[in-house]
Amino acid sequence: ARGRPGPRPRAAAALAPTNAHLKRDPFDARVVVAGDPEASGLFDRVVPLSAPDAGATANRFVTELSSDSGKGPWWRRPMAFDEAATAVLLERADLA
């Protein structure tokens, strides 16, 4: 992934046109990351990563399967899933 120091919303928009930070006024992202298209991608549907009763509380996908602990502002940090965790995530999210 490539990071671009900012705030440079126009440059960021070219890399990540759907990033929510780009829609905020004022632009508030310190870094916008563009993933490697060979190593990352989007699912066809949304996979919840937070608990149903509290959006700031990470669910098991985050705390047990990802590279993140789920503590603090986990939703603002990059998160990775290794190959085994990705397989479990796809199966449990019924995306396999």
Per-residue pLDDT at 1: 47
pLDDT in tens, 59-79: 999 999 999 998 988 888 888
Residues 6+ apart with CB under 8 A from 80: 66, 67
Residues 6+ apart with CB under 8 A from 7: 26, 27, 28, 29, 30
Confidence of residue 91 (pLDDT cuts 50, 70, 90): confident
Per-residue pLDDT at 85: 93
pLDDT in tens, 7-52: 566 776 777 777 777 777 777 666 666 667 787 777 777 788 898 8
- Other CB atoms closer than 10 Å to residue 3's CB: what's the count? 12
Angle at CA 30, nearest 5°, toward 28 and 34?
110
